[in-house]
Structure 1
Amino acid sequence: MAWKLVGRVVAQIANSRSRSYYTSRTKKLSLYSKISPLGNPNTSIAPELDDWVYKGNKVRVGELQRIVRDLRKRRRFAQALEVSEWMNKNGVCIFSPVEHAVHLDLIGKVQGFQYAESYFDSLKDQDKTDKTYGALLNCYVRQRQVEKALSQFQKMKELGFVSSPLTYNDVMCLYTNIGQHGKVPDVLTEMKENKILPDNFSYRICITSYGRRSNVAEMDRILKEMESQPHISMDWNTYSVVANFYIKAGCMGKAIDALRKSEERLDNKDGTGYNHLISLYAQLGNKNEVLRIWELEKTSCKRCLNRDFTTVLESLVKLSEMDEAEKILKEWESSGNCYDVSIPNSIIIGYTEKGLYEKAEAMLEDLQNTGKVTTPNSWTMVAGGYLHKGEMEKALRCLKTGLSLNIDNKGWKPNPKVISDILRWIVDNGTVTDAENLVSTLRSVVPVNRQMYHALIKTYIREGKEVNELLELMKKDNIDENEETREIVQMRKP
């Protein structure tokens, strides 16, 4: 199979005049269209690739490279690595230093820097260029391997591989990642001394280093220097970063000015910038600007994604503008976007934070009644709210619903305080059935513990039932009787 595969692929490449991504105006099935929907990170891509070639379909280098780029962009790194490995193993193309650098970066992301080192060591000397050295440096930076990163940086300088801002930016990111913000400006200074022009990212990292230390004066100085550079095209992101630090420093006038400059430079097709502005105006407490930018985003972008709705809803909830949030939730419901439980959850969280537990529960019930997914955490959050109000029956009802949903939320654990408070209430007010049902449901979520057994024993005693079987079950669950257990048992009427 492997040799047939290689033969087919090589023949197809030899017969192809172009390595560009193949497109067709017809709705013909493409390799990309088969791989793109396989979003589960545990799904293997190699069988799809093998099957595609086995069925006689063409495989073009450009298309595979596009698939790798797309998977990386969507953070599906394991699958991107698998495609890259398949290309290399099956001789689809001879890897240049660029392909090796991409492959090495993916290995670092998926398997760790040690495996990236091994791959780098296995490369031929002609493939150990600034690209592959830089990719390994990036792996060290990402995993905060300070000594290895700085050693790699020194080697690159000695080899003459530091001719662009990229390498210096990596070192500045390293210091940022480990919280040594004071060392970042020194790297920028060294870069300029070596006649390497900083790029937008270089300046933005340095601005961040001063912002994190609340040094507004130096942040202003770097910003003015950046604005004065003829090779720099000021972008919305830089002004957004600056505005955020101004807000934190209490410089509201400067923050508003930076936000205006950021808005002037927005990419009308990308909602990311609008989302940043919406969040920052929410930090300023400016509801009108939040809504104005939202309307601008809807007009400018082709369509608003779920992430865009999430941003504006969370911002309005933060501003306690629940009526406006409800209007936008209705916009989302009619948008045709796929269902995302986190979007209505934004409103539900807002309701609970403001004590509107009935409205939160009503929304959860409405979602369930229309076949929509809800999360156990949402229900137990509302249960906690009812507990705060002393409405124990409602709290128990919501907790039970939340626990019943746990089957689809493996790893979720209920709030221990909510469990503890409801168990105490059942001891005094609930029935044996209430206690048994709750403890039975809890068993499927968290390990049974002494508190649960004590609640059962107390409820049994209150209703005049024997507790000997309970005590035996308690032993089977490896929970020994302690002094408190014995005191509870002695509460039985003679």
Structure 2
Amino acid sequence: MKLQFSTKFLQQKHQNSCGVLASIFSTKTQTKVSIFSTKTEIETQSSSSKLLYDRIQVIGDLKTSVVPVLDQWVSEGRSIDRGQLRNLVEIMKNLRRFNHALEISQWMTDRHNFALSPKGLFEKAESAVNKALEGKKPQASLWNVLAVGYEKDNQMPKAVEMLKRAISVGKQGWSPNSVTLDSCLDYLEGQEDVDGVKDMIRLLKKSGPLTRDIYHRWLRTCVAAGDSVYEVVDQSKMDGFSVDEETDKILKTGQSL
């Protein structure tokens, strides 16, 4: 099994930068899987690849780019190999969606992969990304993909760091990978890291309203760490969350400690 990482792409336009990281956290097996027939009939060997095809297929306007779909795919931590991309190119041609075929082909060409050993893979990826971003404004999806990778590799301190970077540069309404966010918050709560949770919450407020669950996490962390809970309760009330049964339960747990 070979782990893949792209380098040439990191030197090109930043707006496509999140795409390169798909290959950082993906694997390439020796088994060749054909997901599409030459008659454009979708085979069922790979449900993941079919899902990507479905996302592209629903684009009705042929002038609409498929690149954001591909970038979004990899920003979710998903992977796709070159053989599957070639099949996508062929099916787009057969459907006479030549512009989309060209875009997919170019998107694939921008990624010239070479093998890396698992040891130090994430650090090398992060270093390459930092170098590529010198003097440029980073995209949230770029750091989000790194956070997903670190979380999957159980490197939680690094996952938290990358997720914070993603949220800090995300635009209003942008949200990180929900599974990775939950894992990072679970980690901070388990570490009784009140400052870490507060910092994450401060950043999350930029992207939209906080949920009651977020406040419960903050409250549980404060209780576990023996910190004051008044700030959490007051802030949650300001955001429209009154004390509910779960809040009362957490507060009573703190009183019994």
TM-score (ref. length: structure 1) = 0.30
Distance 1:481 1:462 in 2: 19
Q: 1:395-414 to 2 correspondence within 5 Å?
A: 395-406=159-170, 409-414=171-176
Q: CA deviation at 1:429?
A: 1.1
Is 1:322 matched with 2:113?
Answer: yes
Distance 1:323 1:247 in 2: 32
Q: 1:135-154 to 2 correspondence within 5 Å?
A: none
Selected match of 1:393 from 154, 157, 161: 157
Per the alignment, residue 65 of structure 2 pairs with: none
Q: 1:82-481 to 2 correspondence within 5 Å?
A: 246=38, 248-249=40-41, 282-283=86-87, 311-314=105-108, 322-323=113-114, 356-368=121-133, 370-406=134-170, 409-481=171-243
Is 1:482 matched with 2:244?
Answer: yes
Q: CA deviation at 1:366?
A: 1.4
Q: CA separation of 1:247/1:392 partners in 2, compared to 1, >3 Å: closer, same or farther?
A: farther
Q: CA separation of 1:446/1:430 partners in 2, compared to 1, >3 Å: closer, same or farther?
A: farther
**Residue type at the aligned position of 2:193:** T
Q: CA separation of 1:433/1:386 partners in 2, compared to 1, >3 Å: closer, same or farther?
A: same
Distance 1:281 1:477 in 2: 46
The answer to whether the 8 Å contact 2:85/2:108 transfers is: no
The answer to whether the 8 Å contact 1:282/1:316 transfers is: no
Distance 2:146 2:83 in 1: 26
Distance 2:244 2:204 in 1: 22
Q: CA deviation at 1:279?
A: 9.1
Per the alignment, residue 19 of structure 1 pairs with: none
Q: CA deviation at 1:415?
A: 1.9
The answer to whether the 8 Å contact 1:367/1:373 transfers is: no
The answer to whether the 8 Å contact 2:141/2:166 transfers is: yes
Higher RCO (CA < 8 A, seq sep 6+): 2
- Note the alpha carbon deviations across 1:204-227, whole angstroms, 9 max, x for none: xxxxxxxxxxxxxxxxxxxxxxxx
Secondary structure of residue in 2 paired with 1:479: coil
Distance 1:442 1:434 in 2: 12
Q: CA deviation at 1:453?
A: 0.9
Q: CA deviation at 1:389?
A: 1.5
Q: CA separation of 1:360/1:309 partners in 2, compared to 1, >3 Å: closer, same or farther?
A: farther
Percent of residue pairs identical: 24
- Note the alpha carbon deviations across 1:12-64, whole angstroms, 9 max, x for none: xxxxxxxxxxxxxxxxxxxxxxxxxxxxxxxxxxxxxxxxxxxxxxxxxxxxx
Unaligned runs of 5+ in 2: 1-35, 43-81, 90-100
Secondary structure of residue in 2 paired with 1:487: helix
Q: CA deviation at 1:480?
A: 2.4
Tell me which structure has the larger Cα radius of gyration.
1
Distance 1:280 1:425 in 2: 35
The answer to whether the 8 Å contact 1:282/1:315 transfers is: no
**Residue type at the aligned position of 1:390:** N
Distance 1:322 1:442 in 2: 34
- Note the alpha carbon deviations across 1:123-171, whole angstroms, 9 max, x for none: xxxxxxxxxxxxxxxxxxxxxxxxxxxxxxxxxxxxxxxxxxxxxxxxx
Per the alignment, residue 163 of structure 1 pairs with: none
Distance 2:40 2:135 in 1: 42
Q: CA separation of 1:430/1:358 partners in 2, compared to 1, >3 Å: closer, same or farther?
A: farther
Across the aligned residues of Structure 1 and Structure 2, the Cα RMSD in angstroms comes to: 3.6
Distance 1:283 1:379 in 2: 29
Q: CA deviation at 1:493?
A: 4.5
Q: CA separation of 1:247/1:389 partners in 2, compared to 1, >3 Å: closer, same or farther?
A: farther
Unaligned runs of 5+ in 1: 1-243, 251-277, 286-306, 325-350
The answer to whether the 8 Å contact 1:367/1:374 transfers is: no
Distance 2:141 2:213 in 1: 22
Secondary structure of residue in 2 paired with 1:454: helix
Distance 1:356 1:480 in 2: 46
More helix by proportion, 1 or 2?
1
Distance 1:381 1:281 in 2: 20
Secondary structure of residue in 1 paired with 2:179: helix
Distance 1:455 1:382 in 2: 24
Q: CA separation of 1:245/1:471 partners in 2, compared to 1, >3 Å: closer, same or farther?
A: same
